[in-house]
Structure 1
Amino acid sequence: MAARAIQIGEAGGSVAAAIATYRQRRGWDQAYLAERVSDAGRPMSTSVLGKIESGARRVDVDDLVAVAAALEVSPSALLPGGEERADPFEEAAAPGQVRARVLEDIAALGDLEALDTTAPTLAAIAVRLAQEIDAPASLGNSLQGLSKELRQVLADLRSCAPEERDDDDDLDDLATPD
């Protein structure tokens, strides 16, 4: 008689949804998160991560800890009924200097949703890169490479914004009576 697979329960479904939510908030694709999980010491393919997020694969404790580390949250943040899901990527209290400036620049661009379908994704990528620049040693990335990539993403993001209108029509002298 063949063994029947144990179905993923409500808690497993909640963990899967939390992983996908945190990943998407950061603007990361599954390949990038799988790479970060592997870098955290738990080899994981994009296919396996996709199965986890879809609820087709159970998450064991080792997977949970590695995925949480890669997402920069505590493992309990991924569990139902655990700690409040405060996302450090969305906290405005104490972002790093680079991230703070990138967030200011993005805010200055205005409503990204209305500009271009790629703008929100570019903004998320810019924030992720800024976060990595603020703490490159913890992620093992080259500061020079991250800076170069961030400059390119910000240039792409600025190109999505409409050009500012020149409000100076040189007619100021006509507006005031003599």
Structure 2
Amino acid sequence: MPIECLKIYGGEENTISFLKNTMCNWNTILTSSGIRLAEVNIKRGIFQGNSLSRLLFAVAIVPMTKVLQKMDDGYQLKKRGNRINHLMFMDGIKLYGKNIKEIDTLIQTVRVVSGDIRMEFGIEKCASVNIQKGKITGTEGIKLPDGSNIKHIDGTGYKCLGIMEGA
């Protein structure tokens, strides 16, 4: 995933070659109570836990941001102000729209682009909240083409980066 993005954005060939050769050898050691249990090879994705991986993730997610920024969907905070339709945090994304139709369009866009850049989103970690005039209103969640459902958050709120929101 980050290799393709580095190529698209004109990354140096020696850097790309180094990353290709390094990433295929990524591994980690599983321990429990200080006892070494096993060595595990990382076969896909970006290895978590080091500063290089955070940079690679940021490079890999740029295509998603570029596509979302070009869309007309989103929420405008002020008249003639900038439109916002997403915020990204570490390995998460929040989507913003004026209505359910816009949110659905943004979700479908994220789903398609995710497939294009070979990134998987954990649907079990996804949720939706519908706020109208400052109050949470109920929905039945959002149905995805594969039949899975993004659950709706009720008035109890949710935690994002350890901070309670929407309550």
Shorter-normalised TM-score: what interval? Answer: under 0.3
Q: When the two structures are superposed, what TM-score results if normalisation uses the length of structure 1?
A: 0.24
Which protein, 1 or 2, shows the higher relative CO under an 8 Å CA cutoff with sep ≥ 6?
A: 1
Q: Which has the higher strand share?
A: 2
Structure of larger gyration radius? 1
